[in-house]
A and B are shown apart, each in its own frame.
Chain A
Amino acid sequence: SQQGEEDPQALSIQEGENATMNCSYKTSINNLQWYRQNSGRGLVHLILIRSNEREKHSGRLRVTLDTSKKSSSLLITASRAADTASYFCATDVSNQAGTALIFGKGTTLSVSS
Chain B
Amino acid sequence: KAGVTQTPRYLIKTRGQQVTLSCSPISGHRSVSWYQQTPGQGLQFLFEYFSETQRNKGNFPGRFSGRQFSNSRSEMNVSTLELGDSALYLCASSSGTGGYSQYFGAGTRLSVL
Contacts and interface: CB of A to CB of B under 8 A. Distances in A.
A33 interface: yes
Given A41-B106, A42-B107, A98-B55, A106 B97 contact: no
A49 B33 CA distance: 20
B103 A98 contact: no
A101 B45 contact: yes
A67 interface: no
A98 B48 contact: yes
B33 A97 contact: no
Given A42-B106, A98-B55, A101-B45, A48 B97 contact: no
Given A100-B56, A103-B42, A41 B102 contact: no
B61 to A, nearest CB: 17
A59 to B, nearest CB: 16
Q: Is the interface of B mostly helix, strand, loop or mixed?
A: strand
B22 interface: no
Interface of B: 4, 6, 31, 33, 35, 42-45, 48, 50, 55-56, 58, 88, 90, 92, 94, 97-107, 109
Leading 6 A-B pairs by shortest Cβ distance: A98-B55, A98-B56, A94-B98, A103-B43, A42-B104, A43-B104
Interface of A: 2, 30-31, 33, 35, 40-45, 48, 88, 90, 92, 94-106
